Homo-oligomer: A and B are copies of this chain.
Amino acid sequence: MTKDYIGKVVEIKGKNDVFSGKVDGCVLPNENKGLVVLKLKSGYNVAIKQENIDSIKVIGTAEKTQQKSKSNLEYKSNAGLPKVGIITLGGTIASRVDYKTGGVSSQFTAEDLINAIPEIRDLANIECTSLMSKFSENINKEDWITIVKKLDFLSNGKYDGFIITQGTDTIHYVASALSFMLEKLGVPVIIVGSQRSSDRPSSDAAYNLLGALTFIKESKKAGVFVAMHHTTDDKVIAIHLGTKVRKLHTSRRDAFKSINVSPVALVHLDLRQHNICKNEIVFNPLYYDLKDLNKEKLKVSTKLGSGVSLLKFYPSFDTSLFEYVLKTSKIVIIEGTGFGHLSDSLLEIVRKYKNKTIVFMTSQCIFGRVNMDVYTQGRIEKEAGIISLEDMLSETAYVKALYVLGKTSKPEEIKKLMLENMKGEISDRTLFTE
């Protein structure tokens, strides 16, 4: 029924207590037959159950997106602007979106995306590369190596920064991987995603890109970052450190949060005047040691180890499963409860494999810091050989363990490297505890 309405601006009338009154907007494509999805004037999407709808009346047609994109070649480069390489991997962001009207077209090229956002031309000269087209849940460590090799290949001093676009689901894993694997890096590399699915288009892709580009143009900082919405509106984009960020909501635009630290910077977007961006960056003063842009030659590591498992402990955890994991892994990252605790039954197994498998502790609380000194159980765990990873995120710890195993197989070196704060993955212990 709704198929015929796609792209039309309609007024929908509710028929019951759940949805009474009227609402109008542009009907978007949507896979769930029981729902009608509207793009409102506010830019938000709204889903209404068919069963609550009294009537749908067409009141207009959505503004069309530009039918034919100009080729990138038609744009003259602006000598005063940074040159930014955009590498696309697939994901939600890889669908063409007119971010002002909410119209959508099915075919995507990176250039289409750029051409849909005129403000970009004020911020950077862009070159696009489509490296792969994968759902982010299928992007694995071999793909991380491919990305690093591509960056290494492109890094001939020609670029002032890179943007990598991929599906949001595993952005924090790839951001950690690049943080470690791009060992020396003189420019910013920013991962950007979009929380709106291709069949429920809206603007966050464009705004996240503009935030990332503004950061590259204005900040003069080097490192691996993630640029995503800071709030649910489109006004502020957060720039997160690649090793300290996590997806904390399935669907919100501001799903990505820096954990135990604040974002590196907030980019306040100001797009009021067409084609003139007046974006502003507010830096977090705590990141005083952020690396400046420099001419350092990129140094990469393209070797990742294997045999790392990440597990969450829970009551009555099956001991034979735990033993299987310890038997078959070189490194186990275990998300303990609270300050980093495991049951006695699992500790016994850790002790048994003490000389074979290295066990690192993170916390399933996500926020806060592992501390195995507070309770007796923590001290027993230390005696069993378990090593606290302080406030390192479990996901970052998993990725770092793969990276470290690419460097060494010696237990003492592994332990030393895991605890070395390489890329801000461990935040400073404060003088005062709560």
Task: Give residues in A with beta carbon < 8 Å to B.
Answer: 18-19, 31-32, 44-49, 52, 135-142, 144, 167-170, 173-174, 197, 199-200, 232, 247-253, 255, 306, 309-316, 318, 320-321, 324-325, 328, 335-344, 363-371, 373-377, 379, 394-395, 398, 402, 431-434
Contacts and interface: CB of A to CB of B under 8 A. Distances in A.
B312 A250 contact: no
A276 to B, nearest CB: 30
Given A137-B343, A250-B371, A255-B367, 16 more contacts: A31-B374, A48-B431, A48-B432, A135-B377, A167-B338, A168-B338, A247-B338, A248-B365, A249-B367, A250-B338, A251-B369, A309-B321, A310-B312, A311-B311, A314-B395, A324-B324
**Copies of this chain present:** 2
A211 to B, nearest CB: 19
Contact of A255 (B45, B49, B138, B365): B365
Given A169-B338, A316-B140, A342-B137, A374 B321 contact: no
A287 to B, nearest CB: 19
Contact of A45 (B144, B363, B431, B433): B433
A140 B345 CA distance: 11
A337 B137 contact: yes
A173 B434 contact: no
A431 B14 CA distance: 12
A356 to B, nearest CB: 16
Nearest to A31: B373
Given A45-B434, A324-B324, A338-B137, A250 B363 contact: yes
Contacts of A138: 343-344
Contact of A321 (B49, B136, B324): B324
Of all A-B residue pairs in the complex, the 7 with the closest CB atoms, nearest first, are: A250-B368, A169-B337, A169-B338, A137-B341, A249-B367, A140-B316, A47-B433
5 contacts: A169-B337, A250-B340, A250-B367, A309-B321, A312-B312
Nearest to A378: B31
A220 to B, nearest CB: 28
Given A250-B369, A434-B45, A314 B320 contact: no
A217 to B, nearest CB: 30
Contact of A368 (B252, B314, B377): B252
A277 B369 CA distance: 35
A377 B46 contact: no
Contact of A316 (B136, B141, B248): B141
A253 B368 CA distance: 12
A402 B317 CA distance: 12
A44 B434 contact: yes
A144 B336 CA distance: 20
Contacts of A312: 310-312, 335, 394
A253 B434 contact: yes
Contacts of A314: 173, 310, 395, 398
Contacts of A140: 315-316, 343
A165 to B, nearest CB: 16
Nearest to A341: B137
Q: Which of A32, A249, A324 has the most CB of B within 10 A?
A: A249
A309 B316 CA distance: 10
Contacts of A325: 321
Contacts of A249: 365-368
